């Protein structure tokens, strides 16, 4: 296996992420990736290693994409949303943005979690669980910032099984 930071490995990893985000993990195969990159199917093993390693790369990229959205929205909230803005309006606006710009990555994160559980990839499973907690915390903190009580948000988190 070659150095994973090689241009070919980067190209394959990016193409694999794009393919998984667009069409789901079921569409990700050596042949589909070869078609997308113009490389041979055996190039995955040479440049990446194996499917599990490729799935891990996709998972960590999806987590990074999701995290960047939250960070940018949190920064915008700090800069632009007045504290007096009503939670339902802010929440609706952010939720619409999350669903319109991040629907595919959210679906991919769910697929990756299922794949990690099924294949026993505990490190990926744990990283995805942490991502879920971070997402929950983002929405909880938004509610608290707009006047919801910490107790009410904590009660909702415990009902949904989220840690706080």
What's the confidence (pLDDT) of residue 145? 78
Asked if residue 74 and residue 26 are part of one domain, the reply reads no
Asked if residue 63 and residue 38 are part of one domain, the reply reads no
- pLDDT, mean over the chain: 84
Asked if residue 43 and residue 120 are part of one domain, the reply reads no
Asked if residue 45 and residue 62 are part of one domain, the reply reads no
pLDDT, tens digit (0-9, with 9 covering 90-100), for 88-103:
777 888 889 888 888 8
Q: What is the model's pTM?
A: 0.81
Q: What is the CATH number of the domain that holds 16?
A: 1.10.10
Query: Distances in Å between the alpha carbon of 113 and those of 18, 60, 84, 148?
Result: 17, 12, 37, 31
Asked if residue 77 and residue 40 are part of one domain, the reply reads no
pLDDT, tens digit (0-9, with 9 covering 90-100), for 54-110:
999 999 999 999 999 999 888 877 766 666 667 777 788 888 988 888 889 999 999
**31 lies in which domain range?**
1-49
Considering its fold, how many domains does the chain have in total?
Answer: 2
Asked if residue 108 and residue 89 are part of one domain, the reply reads yes
């Amino acid at each position: 296996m070659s150095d994973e930071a090689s241009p070919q490995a980067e190209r394959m990893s990016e193409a694999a992420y794009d393919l998984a985000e667009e069409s789901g993990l079921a569409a990700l195969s050596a042949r589909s990736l070869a078609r997308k990159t113009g490389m041979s199917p055996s190039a995955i093993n040479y440049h990446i290693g194996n499917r599990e390693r490729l799935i891990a790369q996709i998972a960590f990229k999806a987590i990074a994409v999701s995290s960047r959205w939250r960070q940018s929205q949190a920064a915008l909230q700090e800069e632009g949303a007045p504290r007096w803005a009503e939670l339902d309006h802010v929440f609706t606006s952010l939720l619409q943005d999350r669903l319109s710009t991040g629907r595919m990555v959210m679906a991919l994160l769910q697929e990756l979690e299922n794949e990690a559980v099924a294949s026993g990839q505990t490190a990926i499973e744990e990283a995805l669980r942490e991502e879920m907690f971070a997402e929950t915390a983002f929405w909880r903190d938004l509610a608290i910032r707009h006047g919801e009580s910490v107790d009410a948000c904590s009660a909702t988190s415990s009902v949904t099984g989220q840690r706080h």
